[in-house]
Amino acid sequence: MIEISHITKAFNEQQVLNDVSAVFEAGKTNLVIGISGSGKTVLMKIMNGLITPDKGNVYFNGRDFYSLSREEQKALRQEIGMLFQGSALFDSMTVEENVMLPLNMFSNATKKEKLDRVNFCLERVNLKGVNQKFPGELSGGMKKRVGIARAIVLNPKYLFCDEPNSGLDPKTSIIIDDLIIEITKEFNMTTIINTHDMNSVMEIGEKIIFLHKGVKAWEGNNNDILSAKDENLTSFIFASSFLRDARDAMVEKMVK
């Protein structure tokens, strides 16, 4: 479980996050949604220690990340996997080397054990026979899957995904969503996903937090969201007339 408490962050004069608190539960896909510039990525980077908040705390199963020593933070980071928006694979390394990197850094396993683990993770994300390929030779969806394989290779307790579907076609997006939810359940991870993909919101949003101008404006799940009254949220989710019509049809069906 991850708990964030009164997170506040400003860059120069610009307030990016203002007193954001939330609890993200283990074994669930927790979504943080909001328009571009609402503070989602900054919040995620604060949660995994890449940006220090001006105020507030981040608790990983009760351990306050920003009160830990550097060594303790380093140890805790090994329990965190992160999938970046652009996958952030190392261009000079093969797929195998990319996935093996965290093992090389933090594991005392033998080379064979590491290779077995890499192959297990690559198979888990449905990638086979790409070990010796370089990131430049992969499609966007494959890169995301390699990113997920790298994120889970150390068997993390916490998984952060920053816009895992950006730049992907709808079909590949669904594959990535399914994969994330499967992995979350299988390994009982606390998964936090930044997204503005409405399909993801409706399909895998077991817990949803809506950020608007750096403030938590709404909290609920994919069932509650249809009947949410927050104007900013509804205008964000049902931005097009097509989606508004679809919502009305769904609500009508539920009422009947």
User: Interface residues with other proteins (CB under 8 A)?
Assistant: 45, 48-50, 73-78, 80, 82, 84-86, 88-91, 101-102, 104-106, 160
Nearer to other proteins, 80 or 198 (CB): 80
Angle at alpha carbon of residue 30, lines to 25 and 34, rounded to 5°: 140
Cα 205 to Cα 148: distance, rounded to the nearest angstrom: 19
Q: Quickly count: other Cβ atoms within 10 Å of residue 84's Cβ.
A: 18
We find the least distance from the C-beta atom of residue 104 to other proteins, in angstroms, to be: 8
Backbone angles phi, psi at 131, to 5 degrees: -50, -40
We find the least distance from the C-beta atom of residue 97 to other proteins, in angstroms, to be: 10
Nearer to other proteins, 28 or 143 (CB): 143
Nearer to other proteins, 76 or 176 (CB): 76
Give the three-state DSSP class for 158: strand
We find the least distance from the C-beta atom of residue 69 to other proteins, in angstroms, to be: 13
We find the least distance from the C-beta atom of residue 222 to other proteins, in angstroms, to be: 27
Nearer to other proteins, 80 or 211 (CB): 80
239 near 36, Cβ under 8 Å? no
Cα 115 to Cα 113: distance, rounded to the nearest angstrom: 5
Q: Which two tokens stand for residue 88?
A: 């952030």
